[in-house]
């Protein structure tokens, strides 16, 4: 820092709180000069006020200019009035304009001071009031007492910031409904076919089944089988559950037993579970099959499991043949081994005793398969591993009792097969629709003879919509409905009654495209995308989920009856529904006409919705969007007018009586706990506060009763539902605030009264680059956000910036009247007052660096890393007086490679990582290194005393350590393994393994090891109790891990 005789030294030591207002604002266009605005919130008696311009880098005698009421600006230090005066409280007003400009790279300030008569303005300790406004970018980087605007270090960016007219510093201004056509079953005339006197039953499984008013649900997120009583649909209740070992994917109810198929690392796991007479779930059998589970289908008592199997193939060294050297261009021949991925199909059968038995298996080379089951056939279709532009289809005959998987043929086609709905079997005919990879050949429908394993082609329709992509397909008896898309959505109708000569009989062009098609009584229902802007929208590109209804009674005269597009004519121009990819996510009841589809959009306020509608008189009756905290997985029709909405975290019930959706009740099924903190109230009662995260933010807040400190599974004593999901949390002694930055929204909960405030939502655009964590102090909430600073007043108060030398590629093509100017970063303190009735936003204030702590007073600690300090970290202490932030103290921490800070109510921890010299020669070495001395961690503790930051503790640890949780003087430290590479040895050496330890850090004492735990999470997910560390474990909720005392106490 450059020195200024007298004033600089006093400024660095001065800590008195000041409350005058000072600002510099541009005047109007006719008089483009900076105006000086002054104001005061306090009345003063008998003071001499100063308005002084000073340059910290000027030569002696040219440092000061002062403004006097009757003379204007003059050199030297002069008070505004000839004599001492009484100053009342007054609103800010423009008092004068700046008469001088700050030289380039000088640090100039404007000071507005109030002093006792005869006192020197060079002695800040006698200032009764004062404010300093920087008049140059260099001055904005200073940290002076009374300073009211701060810039943060950022490179000048000339090359990508230029504006016209900047001269001389002046700048111009579906599943429960039985009639849903869900999986691609055989056509109605072939369903329920008789096989040897018995009816064949096929099934594509789901994640739930309803039987005898009981909902059996495999909760994938909680990894549980849950049984829900639906006898009173308005108030469902959880009767029992069973934790599962793997990740549950599918559920069958068969012969009084549940069969759950799970992905369990590199194997497929099938659990057979039965409910006993007491209503408890009992695991009867677990069958494990090699390979990663993908999906399954059922035919009668046989379940066909499809898994992905990886194998390592060892390449044999090629040998010469007839004296000719082998061709080794194949990578498989020149390396020792290579991976091969195959598809494994297992046939398992449930016997009369309730045991699953493997009866057959097969493997084939199909990638990313589409799986479809029919009465007598299983079809697997996917990419050809030898040629990704083509696909191959494996067909199995399932009709043989003694041979569950009979190879019925392998078919290769030049294109892609989008879904299982593009596959169909009817009367020993295999029918297939595939699209060409380059689209030039359009799509093709082929009909093949299943009575021969060669699968001969009987007939086809080729060149369907050349240049367009293939989307939805639905086979209905002897008709195929096919959707292609490029700019519009042609719906094609193809007559299949003559397998040798299928023919296109109809075509309808509509905007957008369809992903899934469902047929009933000459009506075709589709889910897809509407790409047309609404009548009031100017944007040209939209992609919104939509549902359409077509009349297909006359294949020659197709018509679009109606279309429903949620968010049409709204700012939300993108939305998505899982029902476009998985038909099981759609509830479509043809009998009642009820439709329910999940809809998601990151642009919408709630993000997750359920669109409810009714098909009535060939039209959609829009019943509205039901806002949800978490995405809906399935819709269930519990009763004619009661819906169930199933997600991984809850089951909601809603009435649709009179076509007016209304939520009835909620059953919580799982808690995704991702945030927790331990705090004590005024009566020293412990509260383990926790929050559940949904798809778009925290939506529920819990108060867990940890009671006895030995409780391993704490239970919530109370919870609150937020009005909207929010992504961040700040906990204080009296309030907790839920908030998010984009768009800026807040909601506060008073922890003493249990009252939730209304949601505060800012109506201004948030253009922050970065945002700090939030802090709650009493009934106030603070955070800081960085923006590009408004440096126009500083530029107009300074000499013009010299245009830098630009390379030709940066300056070429730029007009001569483009003048380059620097940009700077400014952090601003955002302040909100909290009441149960309303959250009030205050004006943002300039603050030096990112906010890292806030304490009663209010007092604020910020962190920054000024480049002029040679990468030392600065900690700044500030206070807020009468709408002005004032610097109280600043200190620096040097020689650290990496910093982290941890806030507690008792003080601030700073973790400083230092790279130590690595010894190359010595006796205690590994590959020439001494990894235990490779890095060192210093932990500092700072407290605020007499409005100054004071170091109260300093501890040193070998290795790389992080603070994962802190409570008073106890910290959870995580030592991460560090890998070192020797230039002579490719194998890394490790600085031990990960270690999680709880230490007591008493001021001025050596760290005391309390014990060890097995897990370390980040600071939002761990809390230190008396004898345990609590972890936010996601859908496993909260786990309490005992702190294991050390076998030998380490000093």
Close Cβ partners of 20 (under 8 Å, ≥ 6 residues apart)? 38, 39, 40, 112, 114, 129, 130, 131, 884
DSSP letter assigned to residue 629: S
The sheet with strand 859-864 has its strands ordered as 850-855, 859-864, 873-881, 884-893
Strand pairing category for 850-855 and 198-199: unpaired
Cα angle for residues 196, 198, 199 (degrees, 5° grid): 125
Output the CA torsion 914→915→916→919 (10° steps).
Answer: 170
pLDDT at 144: 82
780, 834 Cβ separation under 8 angstroms: yes
Cα angle for residues 771, 776, 780 (degrees, 5° grid): 100
How far apart are alpha carbons 56 and 144 in whole angstroms? Answer: 12
How far apart are alpha carbons 1021 and 690 in whole angstroms? Answer: 9
pLDDT at 434: 96
Strand pairing category for 247-254 and 257-264: antiparallel
pLDDT at 712: 59
Closest CA to 1029 of 1046, 1048, 1016: 1016
pLDDT at 899: 83
DSSP letter assigned to residue 810: H
State the DSSP string of 896-923: -SEEEEEEETTEEEEEEEEEPPPPSSSS
Q: Which two tokens stand for residue 328?
A: 């080794």
Tokens 């001389």, residue located: 168
pLDDT at 258: 97
pLDDT at 576: 94
pLDDT at 178: 33
Q: Which two tokens stand for residue 424?
A: 């169909």
pLDDT at 881: 76
Q: Which two tokens stand for residue 695?
A: 């798809």
Element (H, E) at 13: helix 7-13
Closest CA to 395 of 442, 362, 354: 362
pLDDT at 924: 45
Mind listing the pLDDT tens digit for each residue in 733-757?
Answer: 999 999 998 778 999 999 999 999 9
258, 274 Cβ separation under 8 angstroms: yes
Mind listing the pLDDT tens digit for each residue in 784-832?
Answer: 998 887 776 676 666 665 554 444 443 444 444 444 456 778 899 999 9
Helix (H, G, I), strand (E, B) or coil at 332: helix
Number of helices (H) and strands (E) in the chain: give both, helices first.
5, 81
How far apart are alpha carbons 554 and 1001 in whole angstroms? Answer: 82
How far apart are alpha carbons 435 and 213 in whole angstroms? Answer: 44
Going from the C-alpha of 612 to that of each of 179, 601, 625, 1035, the distances in angstroms are: 18, 16, 6, 29
Residues in the chain predicted with pLDDT less than 70, given as ranges, are 1-19, 27-33, 154-198, 312-339, 487-489, 539, 707-713, 792-793, 795-822, 866-871, 882, 917-933, 977-993, 1047-1051
- Sign of the CA dihedral with 527 first, then 529, 532, and 534 last: positive
pLDDT at 167: 30
Q: What proportion of the chain, given as a percentage, has pLDDT over 90? A: 55
pLDDT at 598: 96
Helix (H, G, I), strand (E, B) or coil at 964: strand
pLDDT at 124: 79
Close Cβ partners of 395 (under 8 Å, ≥ 6 residues apart)? 377, 378, 379, 407, 408, 409, 410, 411, 430, 450, 455
180, 188 Cβ separation under 8 angstroms: no
pLDDT at 267: 94
Count of all residues that appear for the chain in the document: 1051
């Amino acid at each position: 820092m450059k020195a200024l005789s007298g004033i600089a030294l006093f400024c660095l030591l001065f800590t008195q709180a000041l409350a005058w207002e000072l600002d510099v604002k541009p005047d109007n266009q006719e008089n483009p000069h900076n105006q000086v605005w002054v104001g005061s919130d306090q009345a003063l008696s008998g003071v001499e006020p100063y308005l002084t311009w000073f340059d910290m880098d000027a030569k002696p005698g040219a440092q000061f200019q002062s403004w006097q009421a009757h003379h204007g600006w003059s050199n030297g230090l002069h008070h505004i009035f000839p004599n001492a005066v009484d100053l009342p409280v007054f609103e800010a007003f423009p008092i004068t304009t700046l008469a001088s400009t700050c030289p380039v790279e000088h640090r100039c300030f404007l000071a507005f001071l109030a002093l006792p008569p005869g006192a020197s303005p060079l002695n800040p300790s006698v200032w009764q009031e004062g404010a300093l406004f920087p008049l140059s970018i260099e001055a904005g980087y200073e940290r002076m007492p009374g300073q009211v605007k701060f810039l943060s270090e950022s490179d000048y960016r000339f090359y990508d910031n230029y504006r016209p007219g900047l001269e001389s510093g002046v700048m111009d201004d579906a599943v429960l409904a039985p009639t849903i056509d869900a999986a691609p079953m055989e056509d109605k005339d072939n369903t329920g076919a008789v096989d040897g006197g018995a009816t064949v039953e096929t099934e594509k499984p789901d994640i739930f089944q309803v039987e005898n008013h009981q909902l059996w649900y495999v909760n994938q997120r909680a990894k549980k089988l849950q049984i829900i009583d639906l006898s009173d649909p308005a108030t469902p209740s959880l009767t029992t559950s069973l934790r599962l070992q793997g990740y549950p994917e599918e559920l069958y109810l068969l012969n009084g037993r549940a069969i759950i198929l799970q992905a369990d690392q590199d194997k497929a796991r099938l659990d057979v579970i039965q409910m006993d007479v007491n209503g408890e779930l009992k695991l009867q059998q677990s069958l494990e099959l090699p390979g990663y589970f993908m999906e399954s289908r059922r035919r009668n008592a046989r379940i066909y499991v499809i898994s992905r199997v990886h194998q390592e193939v060892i390449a044999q060294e090629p040998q010469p043949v007839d004296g000719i050297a082998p061709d080794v261009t194949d990578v498989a021949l020149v390396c020792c081994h290579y991976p091969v991925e195959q598809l494994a199909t297992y046939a398992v059968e449930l016997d009369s005793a309730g045991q699953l038995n493997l009866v057959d298996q097969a493997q084939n080379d199909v990638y990313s398969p589409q799986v479809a089951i029919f009465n007598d056939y299983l079809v697997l279709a996917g990419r050809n591993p030898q040629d990704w532009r083509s696909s191959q289809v494996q067909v199995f005959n399932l009709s043989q009792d003694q041979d569950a998987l009979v190879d019925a043929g392998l078919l290769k086609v030049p294109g892609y097969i989008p879904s299982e709905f593009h596959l169909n079997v009817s009367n020993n005919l295999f029918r297939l629709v595939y699209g060409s990879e380059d689209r030039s050949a359009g799509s093709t429908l082929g009909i093949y003879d299943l009575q021969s394993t060669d699968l001969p082609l009987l007939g086809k329709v080729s060149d369907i919509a050349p240049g367009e992509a293939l989307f939805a397909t639905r086979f209905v008896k002897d008709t195929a409905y096919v959707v292609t898309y490029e700019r519009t959505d042609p719906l094609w109708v193809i007559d299949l009654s003559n397998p040798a000569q299928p023919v296109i009989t109809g075509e309808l062009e509509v905007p957008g495209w369809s992903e899934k098609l469902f047929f009933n009584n000459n009506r075709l229902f589709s889910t897809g995308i509407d790409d047309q802007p609404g009548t009031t929208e100017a944007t040209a590109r939209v992609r919104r989920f939509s549902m359409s209804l077509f009349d297909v009674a006359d294949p020659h005269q197709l018509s679009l009856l109606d279309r429903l597009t949620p968010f049409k004519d709204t700012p939300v121009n993108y939305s998505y529904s899982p029902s476009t990819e998985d038909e099981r996510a759609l509830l479509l009841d043809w009998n009642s006409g009820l439709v329910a589809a999940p809809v998601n959009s990151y642009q919408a306020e709630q993000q997750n919705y359920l669109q409810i509608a009714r098909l009535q008189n060939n039209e959609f009756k829009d019943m509205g969007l039901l806002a949800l905290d978490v995405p809906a997985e399935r819709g269930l029709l519990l009763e004619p007018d009661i819906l169930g909405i199933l997600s991984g975290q809850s089951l909601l019930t809603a009435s649709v009586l009179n076509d007016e959706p209304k939520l009835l009740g909620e059953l919580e099924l799982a808690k995704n706990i991702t945030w927790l903190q331990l705090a004590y109230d005024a009566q020293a009662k412990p509260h383990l506060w926790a929050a559940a995260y949904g798809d778009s933010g925290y939506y529920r807040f819990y108060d867990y009763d940890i009671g006895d400190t030995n409780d391993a599974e704490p239970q919530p004593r109370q919870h609150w539902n937020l009005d909207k999901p929010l992504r961040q949390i700040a906990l204080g002694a009296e309030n907790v605030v839920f908030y998010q930055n984009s768009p800026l929204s807040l909601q506060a909960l008073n922890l003493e009264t249990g009252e939730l405030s209304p949601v505060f939502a800012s109506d201004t655009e948030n253009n922050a680059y970065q945002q700090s964590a939030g802090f709650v102090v009493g009934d106030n909430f603070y955070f800081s956000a960085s923006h590009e600073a408004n440096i126009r007043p500083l530029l107009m108060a300074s000499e013009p910036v010299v245009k830098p030398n630009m390379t030709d590629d940066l300056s070429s093509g730029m007009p001569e009247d483009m003048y380059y100017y620097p940009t700077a970063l400014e952090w601003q303190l955002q302040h909100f007052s909290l009441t149960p009735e309303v959250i009030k936003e205050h004006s943002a204030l300039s603050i030096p660096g990112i906010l890292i702590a806030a304490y009663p007073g209010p007092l604020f600690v910020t962190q920054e890393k000024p480049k002029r300090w040679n990468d030392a970290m600065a900690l700044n202490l500030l206070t807020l007086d009468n709408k002005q932030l004032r610097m109280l103290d600043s200190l620096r921490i040097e020689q650290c490679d990496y910093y982290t800070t941890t806030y507690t109510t008792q003080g601030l921890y700073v973790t400083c990582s230092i790279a130590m010299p690595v010894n190359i020669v010595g006796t205690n070495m590994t590959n020439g290194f001494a990894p235990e001395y490779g890095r060192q961690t210093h932990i500092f503790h700072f407290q605020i005393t007499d409005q100054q930051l004071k170091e109260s503790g300093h501890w040193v640890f070998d290795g790389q350590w992080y603070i994962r949780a802190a409570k008073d003087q106890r910290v959870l430290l995580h030592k991460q393994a560090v890998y070192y590479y020797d230039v002579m040895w490719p194998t890394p050496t490790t600085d031990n393994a990960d270690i999680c330890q709880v230490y007591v850090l008493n001021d001025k004492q050596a760290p005391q090891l309390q014990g060890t735990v097995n897990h370390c999470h980040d600071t939002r997910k761990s809390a230190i109790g008396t004898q345990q560390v609590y972890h936010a474990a996601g859908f496993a909720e909260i786990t309490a891990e005992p702190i294991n005392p050390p076998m030998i106490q380490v000093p």
